[in-house]
Amino acid sequence: METSEIKSILMKTLVLDEVYVSGDGSYFQVIAIGAQFAGMSRVKKQQTIYAPLMKYISDNRIHALLIKTYTPEEWQCDRKLSGA
């Protein structure tokens, strides 16, 4: 599965401002930024990202997925702290 496919699926099915996907083969990292994450537990955030990708996880096109989620405000703060 290509990183662009994962990004497209997430952007089409979720209300996100930005999505960054990296990785290759079947191991991927997703950074998702969206206001919908405000007030969600860490588990709920993970479930939100996993939901539209479950069929690709179940057929092993995605074997491992590292997920980081941010609200737009958290993303701006994290980028400033990391010097990005």
Can you point out the beta strands (E) in the chain? 18-24, 27-33, 64-70
- Single-letter code of the amino acid located at 62: I
Inter-residue contact 35 to 48 (CB < 8 Å): no
User: Is 3:62 a contact under the CB 8 Å cutoff?
Assistant: no
Domain that holds residue 43: 3-82
Is the model's pLDDT at 81 over the cut of 80? Answer: no
**What pLDDT is attached to residue 10?**
98
On whether the CB atoms of residues 27 and 6 are closer than 8 A, the answer is no
pLDDT of 25 reads 85
pLDDT in tens, 29-64: 999 999 999 999 999 999 999 999 999 999 999 999
* CATH number, residue 29: 3.30.300.90
**How many domains are there within the chain?**
1
pLDDT at 78 over 90: no
Stretch 71-79: mean pLDDT, rounded? Answer: 90
Q: Evaluate if residue 28 carries a pLDDT over 60.
A: yes
Report pTM: 0.89
